[in-house]
Copies of this chain bind each other. A is one copy, B any other.
Amino acid sequence: MEIFGRAGYQNASFAAVAEAVGLTLPGLLHHFPRKVDLLIAVLEQRDTDMRTRFPVIDDSWLGTLDSLIQVARYNETVPGVVRAFSLLSVESLTEDHPAAAWFAARTEETRGLMARAFRRGLAEGTLKPDRDPEALAAEVMAVMDGLQIQWLRAGTAFDLSGIFEAYARHFIETHRA
Q: Which residues of A contact B (CB under 8 A)?
A: 6-8, 10-11, 83, 86-87, 89-91, 93-95, 103-104, 107, 111, 130-132, 135, 138-139, 141-147, 149-150, 152-154, 158-159, 162-163, 166-167, 170, 174
Contact = CB atoms under 8 A, between A and B. Distances in A.
A147 B153 CA distance: 19
A6 B94 contact: yes
A163 B146 contact: no
Contacts of A144: 142, 146
Contact of A131 (B146, B149, B166): B166
A7 B94 contact: yes
Contacts of A87: 90-91, 93-94
Contact of A163 (B11, B135, B167): B135
Contacts of A162: 135
B147 A142 contact: yes
A139 B164 CA distance: 8
Max chain B Cβ within 10 angstroms of own Cβ: one of A10, A93, A131, A158:
A93
Contacts of A10: 8, 10-11
| Closest 9 pairs between A and B when the two form their complex, measured CB to CB | A142-B146, A146-B146, A90-B90, A145-B146, A174-B174, A135-B163, A142-B147, A10-B11, A6-B95
Given A87-B93, A93-B152, A132-B163, 10 more contacts: A6-B95, A86-B93, A107-B154, A111-B150, A131-B166, A135-B159, A139-B167, A143-B143, A143-B146, A174-B174
Nearest to A142: B146
B94 A86 contact: no
Contacts of A83: 93
